[in-house]
Chain A
Amino acid sequence: MEKRSVDSRVRGVSTGTTILAATFDGGVVIGSDSRASIGGEYVSSKTINKVVQVHDQIFCCMAGSLADAQAVTKAAKFHLSFHSVQMETPPLVIAAASVLQELCYNNKEELQAGFITAGWDRKKGPQVYVVPLGGMLVGQPVTIGGSGSTYIYGYVDAKYKPNMSREECLQFATNALALAMGRDNVSGGVAHLVVITETGVEHVVVPGNKLPKFHNE
């Protein structure tokens, strides 16, 4: 099989990014920063939306090449919509993650995009799945992704507790994003958070100047 050397730098607009998702007691929080960059030098957008709704109670966060990620989520939205019409029931969160996985795995040579899928379904309640670059699919209670995630592995490992309350989880996610955005140059802007529970979906946007500060003197 011909091995193409893959340039690790994304061509075109990259999401740079810090994305995360965490389950709490009764729901899941999924969030991201809002910076899009070109070549790691120029911020092409301060307010890009990286948290995409692929179904009523299922959201995806995108990382990697913005063009690739937008194309994949578009295809995923269509597939899920069609699937839910055929099945006459809302899709399961694992179905959404599987759709993304198939697209990422079958096109792994051309695509440079990774995803975190989070949502709520009737069968298994709140769930989080991660589909990184190669097209692996893993379910985890909490997961982080993107270039900014490297700076917060320690924080997440130490501070995440299963079955937190909604407020605790929201604060945890906000802190994690703030810490990553504070250290990673290609993550920044505002923190987009979405809280998904059985009853519905709630968007929380924390502007950059309202994010928690950690030794910012």
Chain B
Amino acid sequence: MALSNVLHAPAAGFNFDHAARNAELEGLFDAQIPKPVKTGTTIAGVVFKDGVVLGADTRATSSEIVADKMCSKIHYIAPNIYCCGAGTAADTEKTTELLSSNLTIFSLNSGRNPRVVMAVNILQEMLYRYHGQIGASLILGGVDCAGNHLYTVGPYGSVNTMPYLAMGSGDLAALGILEDGYKPDLELDKAKELVRAAIHAGVMNDLASGNNIDICVLTREGVDHIRPYQVSQYKDKRKTKYKYGAGTTAVLTEKVVPVKLEVVEETVQRMDTA
């Protein structure tokens, strides 16, 4: 049977090893321990006539500083499934990567494209096992043999499915646009415009969302990942070049000391290619 966790079966119950390690580390740092980068974020998804449209902003924040202006929040899961991630950037990145790896192995073993519900179930089981310690709020969208799907998985492991969804700190702004503009069986360009407008509302009204807007369209025919779909109107022009060529710093003296190596042990292993 193709298992969802192929590398090793997860240990039952909770594992608080890292909590002990973190407690040890806390004493070692004089300065503040760096806070995890949060994506802040506005992410949204809409089911339309021929598939699913996912959208996200591109700002990653570390407290009040924009850590990444062109962060990619729409993650590849499978050829027919993509996932938007809000919450702690590292958690969304690694959770989606883990899911993608496991589903790839499953596809190779079973010879089938994964279904969206399978991805949702795996995510739910994993996030529930960690009881909210993994700060990932995800919107999963995909097209498979059973139709067009859009699901959201919360950090505690709750799952919900709706034809339109928004998550992240800008979700209330985006949801207002989606509630007003959503209709069943939208055409592609209307759906793209609706998602763009929803993310734009988040970008404009939420401080932790901003910069550009990415869109990802999933249909039976394939995937169109448009990055960026809309570029921020507030782009800063760099005043000077920050590249320094060789020779910028003058070399005063140079001393070369060869490192003497002596062979301590030599083993020969035959490779059997017969």
Contact = CB atoms under 8 A, between A and B. Distances in A.
Those 9 A-B pairs whose CB atoms lie nearest each other, nearest first: A12-B156, A67-B156, A66-B158, A67-B157, A67-B158, A13-B158, A71-B128, A45-B160, A13-B154
A11 B133 CA distance: 12
Interface string B154-194: 11111110100000000010000000000000000000000
A70 B131 contact: no
Given A45-B160, A45-B162, A110 B131 contact: yes
Nearest to A12: B156
Most A CB atoms within 10 A — which of B127, B131, B155, B160? B160
Chain B interface category by residue count: 10 to 19
A101 B159 CA distance: 23
Most A CB atoms within 10 A — which of B127, B132, B158, B172? B158
B128 A67 contact: yes
Query: Chain A binding site: helix, strand, loop or mixed by DSSP?
Result: mixed
A70 B158 contact: yes
Interface residues of A, number: 16
Nearest to B156: A12
Interface in B2-33: none
Contacts of B104: none
Interface string B139-161: 00000000000000011111110
B152 to A, nearest CB: 9
Interface in A3-52: 11-13, 36, 42, 44-45, 47-48
B162 A70 contact: no
A48 B154 CA distance: 14
15 contacts: A11-B132, A12-B157, A13-B158, A36-B158, A42-B172, A45-B160, A48-B160, A65-B156, A66-B158, A67-B127, A67-B154, A67-B156, A67-B158, A71-B125, A71-B128
A13 B131 contact: no
A45 B175 CA distance: 11
Contacts of B156: 11-13, 65-67
Contacts of A45: 160, 162
Contacts of A70: 124, 128, 157-159
Contacts of A42: 172
A36 B158 CA distance: 10
B131 A71 contact: no
A46 to B, nearest CB: 9
Contacts of A110: 131
Given A65-B156, A67-B157, A12 B132 contact: yes
A128 to B, nearest CB: 26
Interface string B56-68: 0000000000000
Contacts of B128: 67-68, 70-71
Contacts of B172: 42
A39 to B, nearest CB: 13
Contacts of B132: 11-12
A189 to B, nearest CB: 12
B154 A12 contact: yes
Contacts of B155: 12
A133 to B, nearest CB: 17
Contacts of B131: 110
